[in-house]
Amino acid sequence: MKTFELKVGGKDYKVDIDRYNGRQAAVKVNGQPYEVEVKHGLPTGGSSPHIAPRPTPVSAPPPSPSAPEAPVVPTASVPVGGQVIAPMPGLILEIMVSPGDQVTAGLPIMKIEAMKMENIIPAPCNGVVKEIRVKKGDTVATDDVLLIVDEG
């Protein structure tokens, strides 16, 4: 396993590469597991490989044919209580869950527009949506609490 510490948009991320076969990798971003497709060759050996994949949760549905693929943005580490925090400033485009909904880790729960790109925010853990603190059209700042998942 290889570990990388990356800075994306001013935020620090710890990326552990558990498995890599030349085209796909099993990674953990800040402890959250993802299966990623590697678009550009990542060396299987040697030092300091260049990594350019976008994390995509295992359970993510395929994008609709008319919409461009939105990257899944890893959330920052999840504080106690299952708070989902905004990984970047942006505009809430879509909330895909409601209070009381059952969610699984990696399930897309919200879409945020940042720098003219749509970004999918995944559920950080398994649980039930307890509270949603934003609504469609809200502008959020980095680290704002978006919703709370009651882990269980």
The rounded average pLDDT for each run of 10 residues, N- to C-terminus, in the chain (152 residues) is 75 79 77 74 47 49 52 45 84 94 89 90 89 95 92 74
Rg (CA), the chain: 16
Residue 62 within any structural domain of the chain: no
pLDDT, residue 76, reads 42
- Are 95 and 145 within one domain? yes
Question: What pLDDT is attached to residue 48?
Answer: 40
Which residues, listed in sequence order, are joined to residue 91 by a DSSP beta bridge?
A: 113, 139
Is residue 67 situated within a structural domain?
Answer: no
Same domain, 40 and 89: no
Instruction: Indicate if 93 and 131 belong to the same structural domain.
Output: yes
Check residue 35 and give its pLDDT. Answer: 76
Note the helical H segments in the chain: none
**143 is a domain residue:** yes
The CA distance from 136 to 20, in Å, is 38
Q: Are residues 88 and 146 in the same domain?
A: yes
Total structural domains in the chain? 2
78 domain-assigned: no
Pair (48, 90) in one structural domain: no
Look at residue 22 and tell me if it is in a domain.
yes
pLDDT at 146: 94
Q: Which domain holds residue 5?
A: 1-55
The pLDDT of residue 58 = 52
